Every structure is written in structure tokens, then in C-alpha cells.
Amino acid sequence: MGLFLDESAVRSGVPAAAQVARALLDGSLTPNLAAACGLPRPVDGYLVAALPGVPEVVGPLAERGRRDLLWHHDRGELVLLTPVTGAAAGVDAARSRISDALRALLPMVGVPAVGVFRPQRQVADAVRESRRLRPFAVAADLAEVLHAPEDLAVDRGVARLPEVAAGLRAVLTPLGAGTELRRTLRTLYRVDLHRARAAELLGVHRQTLTYRLNRIRELTGVDPLSVRGVAVLAAALAAEAEDRRP
């Protein structure tokens, strides 16, 4: 079977990893075909990420030649799939494999992406879920290349409750139309309140960061470093991001 895959790849010009991915997506992946590709057996499921991709990604993906990273490119969409074994630790390892591939493909792919884990029989559903969630990650201006669905829980919740979103956006209204204070908040929350790292990413002195945080507290009446402040202001940023969601 492995020899057949290699010969088929030569004849068709479609690498084995892409052939197996296609079989996985259409539900025709058999145990023998999975074994021929070198996939682990048994697997708990697959982590799937769907995102825009250009034809130029095919060459670099084929050159990687990893048996534990499958991919499918069709009609401007790239789908990356990797097997998961070993529950939580397996999901973390799978995320690392897809993240590494996405970093290698920059700037040819439209990151960020959302990785969705499902059993093998539900892989097509995982593709649809990853595709549906990706605009939330894009709108939220998340820095990492791959996110889990739970990373977007607040954003999704806000999107489902328009009246709540309107109230949250009002919290940020006193900050004015400029983006400096909002960018400061997003950056600070992205690095888990690590002020030195936030100041570095913003390109400002730590005293400037402290001034901006104090200014946010004065204008909104919410302390951006308190537990309640993080909850309210992070949700408010998600509400504003919803307005930018494609």
C-alpha cells in the first residue's frame, strides 16, 4: 500500500499526504491506507485547521514530507490535519505540529487559524467549525498563528448577545476614536498582564504604559488591572472586534 501511494503520487503529482487527507475528509480513509501513510494506530481523532491558502503552499508542504501532518488544498482553502493520540497531551503535540507548519508557510497563508479536535468520523464537521470560528480570531487581532475554540469563548458569547455587546462597547466610548489606548489594552491582555512584555511590544517605556493604564481607568471608571476590569474590558474589546468581523 505504501508503494502504491508513492507510485500514485508520482503519476498524479499529488503527494501522499494530500491523498490521505482527501480520503480522511471524504470518509474513505481505511486502516490499511492510514498505516501505509505512517499514521499512528489507533488515534483518538484529528486536529483540523482550515484557512485561506494560495497554490504556492503546495510545494513547501510537500517538501516537509511529514507523515503526521496531512493537508488538502482546494478552491483557495488550505486544510491541515494531524492525528491526536493520548488525550490532552496529544492535542498539545498536534497544535505544535500545525503551528510549526503555519509559521513555515508565512506569509502565504492567512493566519490566524482555529484548531478543532474531532473523532475521525467527524473530521468534515471539524473543518466547518474551524472555518466558522476563524473570523472571530481575525477580528480579535490575536497574535498567535493557531488558537483553540475556547480562546474565542468570550468573542462568540458577545456575538450572540447584541444587547450585551452594545453595553460593553459603551464602556470603551470614553476612550475616544483613537486606537492607542485600545491597542494598549489588547496587547496587555494578550501577554497575560505582563507589563514589561507589553511595553516592549508597544514600543514604549514602562512609565508610558503605566500612564496609559491610569488614563484608561480615569476615562472608563474601570481598573484594567483588576479582576473585574480584565473581565469587563476584555469583553468590551471583543464586542468592538465583532463589528470588524467579516
220 and 169 in a common domain:
yes
Same domain, 142 and 191: no
Answer yes or no: is 15 within a domain: yes
Q: Which of 89, 121, 149 is the last residue of a domain?
A: 149
Give me the sign of the Cα torsion angle 18, 20, 23, 27: negative
How far is CA 111 from each of CA 52, 94, 184, 193, rounded to the nearest angstrom?
8, 17, 22, 24
Is the pLDDT at 38 greater than 80? The verdict is: no
CATH, residue 73: 3.30.70
Q: Based on the fold, state whether residues 175 and 116 are members of the same structural domain.
A: no
Which candidate, 72, 63, 139, 135, places its Cα nearest to that of 104?
A: 63
Averaged pLDDT for residues 10-27: 74
Asked whether residue 118 carries a pLDDT value surpassing 90, the answer given is yes
What is the spatial distance between Cα 68 and Cα 149, in angstroms, rounded to a whole number? 22
- What is the extent of the structural domain holding 70? 2-149
Answer yes or no: do 127 and 199 share one domain. Answer: no
**pLDDT tens digit sequence for 171-184:** 999 998 878 999 99
| One domain for residues 97 and 172 | no
Domain contains 154: no
Report yes or no: 243 and 166 within 8 Å, Cβ to Cβ: no
- For 159-207, what is each residue's pLDDT tens digit? 888 899 899 999 999 998 878 999 999 899 888 899 999 999 999 999 9
| In a shared domain, residues 93 and 172 | no
Other beta carbons within 10 Å of 41? 9
pLDDT of residue 8: 46
pTM (two decimals): 0.80
Q: Are residues 98 and 220 in the same domain?
A: no
217 with 143, same domain: the answer is no
Q: Is residue 155 part of a domain?
A: no
Average pLDDT of every residue of the chain: 87
Together in a domain, 71 and 193: no
**Is residue 156 situated within a structural domain?**
no
Within a domain: 227? yes
CATH number at 201 reads: 1.10.10.2840
Instruction: Evaluate if residue 21 carries a pLDDT over 90.
Output: no
**Domain end residue (candidates: 84, 116, 149):** 149
What local confidence, expressed as pLDDT, does residue 246 receive? Answer: 67
For residues 132 and 166, membership in a common domain is answered with: no
Q: DSSP string of 107-138?
A: TSB---EEEEEE-GGGHHHHHHHHHHHHHHHH
Domains identified in the chain, total number: 2
* Beta bridge partner(s), residue 49: 80, 115
